[in-house]
Structure 1
Amino acid sequence: MDFELSEDQRAIAEMADSLFTDHCDDDALRQWDSSGEAMMADLWGLCVETGLHALAIPEQAGGSDLGITELMLVLQAQGRSLGQVPLWRHQLAAATLAHFALGEAAGWAARAASAEVLLTLSIEARASACGIDLHARPCEGGWVLDGKVAALAFGQQAQAALVLAEAEGQPRLVLIDLSATQVRRVPGVLTHGEPVAEIEIEGLRISAEQLLPGPALDWLEPRVQAALAALQLGVSEAHIRRTVAYVSEREQFDRPIGSFQAVQMRMADAHIDLEALRSALWQLCYRLDAGLAAPCEALATAWLACEAGHRIGHSAQHVHGGIGVDLTYPIHRFLYWSRALGLALGGSAACLERLGDWLGDNDKLGWKYDLEEHQAL
């Protein structure tokens, strides 16, 4: 693999890092915590102004038509700074519509690229123990939706959402206009500050074009897993960097605690977890951008993201001692984000179970993507 970034990719990464660093320092995050705002509107405006909101949207829909690798670089910067903006949900929803939707449904992608509307998405129901709670039944000229979507991120702020519904016994992506009278939104906030809404739908009639074809979900899911893993990578990078700075300064027995062998080994293990996730994520992004199948790579990366986030977060809290639970100290925010990202991925146990099911049905050679027998069908 070639881990060198192109000049354009480095420019995108530097711009994103500068944007998030300038607007999401600890003081800014404290002020936002107490502001009561649902999302960082000013920061989102800058993302739109710089085009970061449309990197992965196809050119025919008005986007930049870049790949998952470029989006990954931006999301790492977002994760390092904990910027509360709907970057990946907005553009992956638009990209999915641009690739698979027809008629009026496809028009939402262009409106998203121009930032005329805000889109969101949720496929977390696929990993839910309760299953998909939104059901579509056929009717003349379309479908009728009934049920709920739990904790839809930015569901109160967005104008439309791409969510999972069960249609004729199969999970399918469905586009919902959230302003419809048959849609009720109950707003809330997750522990790490992300705004959500419980979506309750009763008798919502949609056109046939709003129920996307089956392959749309298979196309979208690994990209969602890559986006969440990229955020986790950025969060964990900052988590480790801040913890290393802390143990280099904090003294016990007249010496920095970072000089203790147990602390050094703990942080070394955290760094290994981080780099394992980075390698898996880069390969996943490469395969997605190359148009290669990546079902097992996506699940493995999701599992590594869950595990790395949990272990790095636990280690950081442990070596911080009592100060880590003081909400006036910033390290708790990274722990909250790590836990939330792990839940959004479905949790490590669910990812591992799905990966085991896949391996049970596919006699492949794992990560050796250059071998013919690895090509997933």
Structure 2
Amino acid sequence: MDFTMSEEQQAIAEMARGLFGDHSHDEALQRFDASGEPWLVPLWEACIETGLHSLLIPDAQGGSGLGMTELMLVLQAQGESLGPVPLWRHQLAATLLATFGDSAEAPLVEAAAAGHRLLTLGSIDAVVAQRPCLLAQPHPDGWTLAGTLAAVPYAEQAALVIVPLALPDGMRLAWLDPASAGVTRRGGVMAQGEPVCDLGCDGVVIGHSQLLPEPALTWLRPRAVAALAALQLGVSEAQLRHTVTYVTERCQFDQPIGSFQAVQMSMADARIDLETLRSTLWQLCYRLDAGLACEAEAASVAWLACEAGHRIGHRAQHVHGGIGVDITYPIHRYLYWSRVLGSELGGGSAVLDALGQWLAEHDTLGWKYDLEEHAAS
């Protein structure tokens, strides 16, 4: 497998690393924590100015029209710097509307591509697990919604939320204005500082055009997994890098603790977890951009992202000892991010159950059964 990136992809990755590194360093994050702002404003403005907020949005609606590989590279850079901006949900929601929505939503997608409106996704863990959160019943004007959508990121700031619904004939996606009549909002903050809001729906009516066609769910699920896994890759890589630096400087018995065999083996295991996630994530993005089926591959990546985030975070905290629980030291931020990302993916056990169910119904699983090189062999 050739993982060489094109010159354009390398340029995007370098620009993203530079931009996030300049705006999302430890001092900036400390100021952000005390600011009460929903995101790091200078960083979000820089993302809009450089077009990183609209890479995936089709060029016909004002975006760049690039693929998941390019977005993955940017999200990896975001994860490395822990940049608190609504980057991936915004453009996945906008691209979903551009691809499957009614022409009436085109102005909203264009406003999102221009950075004038924020769009978001609700309950991605439910989307990944195919577990709808809101019950939809037929209404003369469309559908009536009931239930609660928990911890929707940026719901108080967004003009539109993509939500999973339970219809009589199965699960579907729809878009919802969080300011609609009948929607109640209760705000909160996730462990890593991301603003969230519980959306309660009681007699909320949405129009027929707000219900997206069935393929929208199949389109969103693997892309949401790839986005979260790319963030997890960046978070875990930076967390491991900080930890390696620490163990080479921290001394015990007049020796750097990184020279102890147990610490070396722990760091080596963490590196294996990291590289396993990287290679499978890149292949998933390749399949998405190539239009290949990837249901089982996405489930595999989701599980590896949950496991890598948990194991690397656990090892990093362990070798840091007491300083790992000091919130004036930055390593705790990475643990918070990795735990939240794993939760959004549904958790390792739930993802593994879903993958096991897929295996029970299919007799092949691999990354290249349907690729030309496998057929040629």
TM-score (norm 2): 0.96
CA contact (8 A) 2:150 2:197 kept: yes
CA contact (8 A) 2:141 2:205 kept: no
Determine if the alignment matches structure 1 residue 214 to structure 2 residue 214. Answer: yes
Query: Match of 1:317?
Result: 317
CA contact (8 A) 1:68 1:289 kept: yes
1:161-210 C-alpha deviation (Å, 9 max, x unpaired)? 00111111411111001222322211110111011000112222211110
Deviation at residue 337 of structure 1 after TM alignment: 0.3
Distance 1:47 1:351 in 2: 32
Distance 1:271 1:61 in 2: 40
Distance 1:276 1:337 in 2: 19
Q: Secondary structure of 2:109's match?
A: helix
Query: Match of 1:349?
Result: 349
Query: Match of 1:198?
Result: 198
Q: What is the aligned-residue RMSD (CA, Å)?
A: 1.7
CA contact (8 A) 1:127 1:350 kept: no
1:200-242 C-alpha deviation (Å, 9 max, x unpaired)? 1222221111010111001100000000000000000000000
Q: Secondary structure of 1:266's match?
A: helix
TM-score (norm 1): 0.96
Letter in 1 for 2:202: E
Query: Match of 1:247?
Result: 247
Letter in 2 for 1:247: V
Q: Secondary structure of 1:120's match?
A: strand
Determine if the alignment matches structure 1 residue 31 to structure 2 residue 31. Answer: yes
Letter in 1 for 2:352: L
CA contact (8 A) 1:186 1:199 kept: yes
Q: Secondary structure of 2:147's match?
A: strand
Distance 1:251 1:277 in 2: 31
Determine if the alignment matches structure 1 residue 124 to structure 2 residue 125. Answer: yes
Distance 2:106 2:182 in 1: 22
Deviation at residue 370 of structure 1 after TM alignment: 3.9
Structure 2 unaligned spans of 5+: none
CA contact (8 A) 1:103 1:209 kept: no
Number of corresponding residues: 374
Query: Match of 2:299?
Result: 299
Distance 1:306 1:133 in 2: 22
Letter in 1 for 2:341: L
Letter in 1 for 2:140: E
Distance 2:301 2:235 in 1: 15
Letter in 2 for 1:189: V
1:268-319 C-alpha deviation (Å, 9 max, x unpaired)? 0000000000000000000000011100110000000000000000000000
Query: Match of 1:96?
Result: 96
Structure 1 142/184 Cα, relative in aligned 2: closer, same or farther at 3 Å?
same
CA contact (8 A) 2:128 2:225 kept: no
Query: Match of 1:177?
Result: 177
Q: Secondary structure of 1:206's match?
A: strand
Structure 1 86/198 Cα, relative in aligned 2: closer, same or farther at 3 Å?
same
Structure 1 127/97 Cα, relative in aligned 2: closer, same or farther at 3 Å?
closer
CA contact (8 A) 1:88 1:227 kept: yes
Distance 1:288 1:133 in 2: 26
Distance 1:229 1:239 in 2: 15
Query: Match of 1:48?
Result: 48
* Residues 59-208 of structure 1: pairs in structure 2 closer than 5 A: 59-122=59-122, 123-126=124-127, 131-208=131-208
CA contact (8 A) 2:359 2:365 kept: no
Q: Could you tell which deviates more after superposition, 352-361 or 220-229?
A: 352-361
Q: Could you tell which deviates more after superposition, 252-261 or 2-11?
A: 2-11
1:321-357 C-alpha deviation (Å, 9 max, x unpaired)? 0000011110000000000000000001111111111
Deviation at residue 253 of structure 1 after TM alignment: 0.3
Q: Secondary structure of 2:328's match?
A: coil
Query: Match of 1:8?
Result: 8
CA contact (8 A) 1:105 1:209 kept: no
CA contact (8 A) 1:105 1:210 kept: no
Letter in 1 for 2:113: A
Runs of 4+ in structure 1 deviating by more than 3 angstroms, as ranges, are 126-129, 369-372
Q: Secondary structure of 2:368's match?
A: coil
Query: Match of 2:367?
Result: 367
1:127-156 C-alpha deviation (Å, 9 max, x unpaired)? 679x53311111224112222110001111
Distance 2:128 2:370 in 1: 30
Q: Secondary structure of 2:366's match?
A: coil
Structure 1 unaligned spans of 5+: none
Distance 2:174 2:295 in 1: 22
Letter in 1 for 2:62: G
Structure 1 365/35 Cα, relative in aligned 2: closer, same or farther at 3 Å?
closer
CA contact (8 A) 2:129 2:351 kept: no
